[in-house]
Amino acid sequence: MKKILCIALGALLLASCGKRKEAYLFTSFHEPATDGLRLLYSEDGLTWTESGCTLLPPGVGSKVMRDPSIARGKDGVFHAVWTSGWRGDKGFGYASSTNLVEWSEQRYVEVMAHEPEAVNVWAPELFYDDEAEQFIIVWATTVPFRFEKGIEEENNNHRLYYVTTKDFVTFSEAKLFLDPGFSVIDAVIVKRAKNSYALVMKDNTRPNRNLRVAFASHPLGAYSAASETFTPQFTEGPSVVALGDYYYIYYDAYREYAYGAVKTRDFVTFTDAASEVSVPKGHKHGTIFKADAGIVEQLKNFCAQQAQKENAR
């Protein structure tokens, strides 16, 4: 009996040791978006702490970093994309890392060169499709006089486009991802289950400027008609994290200079969750992902060393 208990205990310890502890990370930037990537960390996905330093100073495109998005591939490598220019850029910035501290050389990925009148490439969002083992990158672009519009100016009438890639060297041809019948930006794909996806997006029309959701059986769509809005006006930059029975949707309430959140089980009924979360002041439009706790500790130590160097100057 004693031998059986020892074997069982050993198997339990082996299983627990084999399961790596993970933490949550939240990409961020501060205005005026010229410093580089910032990262918040959290153990529970609700209370966030600033790591304390900037990484990856922007060096491509118009040399700004807005709306950074990071996703991890099957091999454990982290990939980052970001908005590299407010107007005029027809691509986005890209870099990769194995530890979030040391980064590859930055590259400018020009995805809208085939559209001479394209105004911009905003908020590229990464989604790793684990079934197809490829990354999907969705962003917003305005091509004036291409689509119907409301009271927006032609230079602010966005639709969503995408490319796919397995290696960030070769990319598919850029194609229209979604035309919901209104100006749309800031789209985040969420896998709920096999053949069940939600797309959280910003309705950028005037006077709305808030969040909606659509549904599909495949990450590339086709997506359903967009829902009614479920956040206040002047909200954008959604980021979604699954915590327990709920999905928490963080958003940038940009006129209030604050971050808010709602929670939902089904992306149909939403409950305000602002009182449950804590996000540092100055945090702007980012995405949430997971990393091994050891990588997060390495990041924290690196930022602490950087702070010491700054203080010693």
Model confidence pLDDT, tens digit, residues 214-272: 999 999 999 999 999 999 999 999 999 999 999 999 999 999 999 999 999 999 999 99
Which of the four pLDDT bands, split at 50, 70 and 90, describes residue 6?
A: very low
Which of the four pLDDT bands, split at 50, 70 and 90, describes residue 313?
A: confident
How confident is the prediction for the chain on average, in pLDDT? 93
CA distances from 27 to 17, 32, 283 (A): 29, 16, 9
**Domains, in order of start, for the chain:** 24-312 (2.115.10.20)
State how far the Cα of 64 lies from the Cα of 66, in Å rounded to an integer.
6
User: Using an 8 Å Cβ cutoff, are 201 and 219 in contact?
Assistant: no
State how far the Cα of 119 lies from the Cα of 231, in Å rounded to an integer.
27
- What pLDDT is recorded for position 2? 45
List residues bridging with 11 in a β-sheet: none
- What pLDDT is recorded for position 16? 40
- What pLDDT is recorded for position 308? 85
Q: Tell me the average pLDDT across 126-134.
A: 97
Which of the four pLDDT bands, split at 50, 70 and 90, describes residue 19?
A: low
Structure tokens at 29: 């930037």
Burial class (CB in 10 A: 0-12, 13-18, 19+), 13: exposed
Strand intervals (E) in 144-195 = 158-165, 175-178, 184-193
- What pLDDT is recorded for position 307? 85
State how far the Cα of 127 lies from the Cα of 70, in Å rounded to an integer.
9
pLDDT digits (tens, 9 = 90+) for 139-191: 999 999 999 998 989 999 999 999 999 999 999 999 999 999 999 999 999 99
State how far the Cα of 53 lies from the Cα of 36, in Å rounded to an integer.
9
Q: How many CB atoms lie within 10 A of CB 226?
A: 19
The number of angstroms, rounded, from the C-alpha of 122 to the middle of its chain's C-alpha atoms is 12
State how far the Cα of 171 lies from the Cα of 163, in Å rounded to an integer.
6
pTM for this prediction: 0.93
Query: Is pLDDT above 60 for 97?
Result: yes
